[in-house]
A and B are shown apart, each in its own frame.
Chain A
Amino acid sequence: MNLGVEQAKAWIDQMNELFQQQKQYLTELDQAIGDGDHGWNMARGFQEAVDKISSNRYEDLGTLLKDVAMTLIAKVGGASGPLYGTAFLKMSQVLAGKQEGNEQEWIAALGEALAGLKARGKAQVGEKTMIDVWEPVVMFLQEKGQLLAREAAQLAQQKMEETKTLEAKKGRAAYLGKRSIGHIDPGSASSCLLFIAFAKVVES
């Protein structure tokens, strides 16, 4: 199965829809262990990204994803702006010049996105950040060698839930130390929505 420009656009649209629906929830998660801006940040950034790409025609995935990345970098702010911006920028580099990507190419793009996230935020698994969702999901896809998007989304959900048990070591929540235990990490929740949106597009 190949995913092209139209599917990538649908993915961004789908993510935006989820972020608009869930912005209150994400913000509540961030109020518990951060500064309460995560839902607004994501909703604002993805609305801008959708506005940007819906008015343009794209010949290749690289240009499309780069526009998304640059919009997120400029409009999301906080920690998640540069993080999600970097993830989409890395994907755009892998998929540059391609009208559509096959399963391996998309898995490679997600792998580079994860590498970019880790380089930008210097976080490892277990530190209660979005890496706790991204790394197991990407590793799962790489192991399977197929774009098993629905299983990936289920795994994302499970990993998001598991961040509850972790103590934050990176990001704003780290100032709370042990007091961060018992809460879901907001960035893991938004990353989970990203993979849910991906699954919806792959399945349709």
Chain B
Amino acid sequence: MKKLINDPLRVVDDMLEGFVAAHSRQVRRIPGTNVIVRKDAPVKGKVGIVSGGGSGHEPAHAGYVGKGMLDAAVCGEVFTSPTPDQILSAIQAVDGGNGVLLIIKNYTGDVMNFEMAAELAEAEGIRIAKVIVNDDVAVEDSTFTTGRRGIAGTVFVHKIAGALAERGASLEEVEAAAKKAIQRVRSMGVAISPCIVPAAGTPGFVLGENEMEVGIGIHGEPGIEKVSVQPAEHVADGLLARIVEDMKLDQGDQVAVMINGLGATPLMELYIVHKRVAERLAEKQIRIHETFVGEYMTSLEMAGCSISLLKLDDELIDLLRSPADTVAFKTC
């Protein structure tokens, strides 16, 4: 393992120290926790928005803390859900009196830890709403199983909910907007090389020199199949086809597109993927309203990308464009 770290067991703490040192204008860390909050939290009267999960997905989630998006991000150990006591600290720190929305990615550990924190907060008299993001079309959607995973599409949910909360909407309204975004966002990814969790020291899965994993999860969970590496055009076609089919997109629909790098893929390659995505959507007469190309939800040094589409309407277009000032996502 070759990494620029000091101690594999201290990576999260060291990263968070560096993060707040770099961005003290926007954020601070709650002492004694791995919780990053908006500098001005709690914002009185505003619905607080808390998200989080395992670390290793930077800039998610701390990078989305700030005006117009999250009030707090709870940072677990690498690829491990944060614990309820940490999540509770975040909730307490951002409750401005009008309730707190929890945005949870659909993993068993995350869901259970956030639910426990929600119960503890409710016992203290804080109103809580929760939404669960499950945008990954690589996994079968079923109410009888764990269901789909939450991946990069989560960033759109942060943006939509955050924008509405910033305007002073109620907890119910913010929750409804977040749910609407969740219903309309779909993603899928592909990995061409794996990542190494620092404490583990070895890759979580193996890919041959000429292999890629289609439908990869952001922790290296298996996807749909291993295939031999293909040109970017084919990869883009494959991912997009599944997403479009699942969303039942039609001619005339409007979307936002996110081409997300998984950590070790250069922007050059992400733009090459986007070229094809844009062409294909144009052929289908699906209109791209906004495009985001870059690293939004990574998986340490994994190479590969994911594609996310959010189906828009007037309300979502407005919320997507409204101001956000965070480390990793800015609109003005």
Most B CB contacts (10 A, CB to CB) among A78, A79, A171 go to A78
A81 to B86: give the CA distance in the assembly, Å.
13
Are A85 and B79 in contact (CB-based, < 8 A)?
no
Determine if B24 is an interface residue (Cβ-Cβ < 8 Å). no
Are B83 and A171 in contact (CB-based, < 8 A)?
no
CB distance from B278 to the nearest CB of A (A): 31
Q: Which of A37, A73, A76, A170 interacts with B108 by CB under 8 Å?
A: A170
Closest to B221 in A: A175
From 244 to 264 in chain B, residues with beta carbon under 8 angstroms from any chain A beta carbon are none
Interface size of B as a range: 20 to 34
Determine if A83 is an interface residue (Cβ-Cβ < 8 Å). yes
A181 to B115: give the CA distance in the assembly, Å.
29
Determine if B298 is an interface residue (Cβ-Cβ < 8 Å). no
Q: Which of A77, A120, A121, A174 interacts with B145 by CB under 8 Å?
A: A174
Closest to A76 in B: B83
Interface SS majority for chain B: loop
From 135 to 161 in chain A, residues with beta carbon under 8 angstroms from any chain B beta carbon are none
A residues in contact with B221, CB < 8 Å: 172, 175
A residues in contact with B219, CB < 8 Å: 35
Are A82 and B146 in contact (CB-based, < 8 A)?
no
Q: How many A-B residue pairs have CB under 8 A?
A: 71
From 59 to 81 in chain B, residues with beta carbon under 8 angstroms from any chain A beta carbon are 76-77, 79-81
Determine if A90 is an interface residue (Cβ-Cβ < 8 Å). no
Determine if B20 is an interface residue (Cβ-Cβ < 8 Å). no
Are A169 and B112 in contact (CB-based, < 8 A)?
no
Given known contacts A169-B144, A172-B108, A77 and B79 CB-to-CB distance under 8 angstroms: no
Are A77 and B84 in contact (CB-based, < 8 A)?
no
B residues in contact with A169, CB < 8 Å: 144-146
Chain B 89-125: CB-based contact to A (< 8 A → 1; otherwise 0)? 0000000000000000001110011011000000000
Are A120 and B112 in contact (CB-based, < 8 A)?
yes
Are A83 and B76 in contact (CB-based, < 8 A)?
no
B residues in contact with A176, CB < 8 Å: 222
CB distance from B92 to the nearest CB of A (A): 15
Are A35 and B112 in contact (CB-based, < 8 A)?
no
Q: Which of B107, B116, B144, B217 interacts with A86 by CB under 8 Å?
A: B116
CB distance from B3 to the nearest CB of A (A): 18
CB distance from A48 to the nearest CB of B (A): 12
Q: Which of A81, A172, A179 interacts with B113 by CB under 8 Å?
A: A81
A to B CB contacts below 8 Å, 9 in the list: A37-B80, A73-B83, A77-B83, A82-B84, A82-B109, A82-B113, A82-B116, A85-B84, A170-B145
* Chain A interfacial positions (CB closer than 8 Å to B): 35-37, 73-79, 81-83, 85-86, 120-121, 169-172, 174-176, 179
The 5 A-B residue pairs with the shortest CB-CB distance in the complex, in nearest-first order: A82-B112, A79-B109, A174-B146, A79-B108, A74-B85
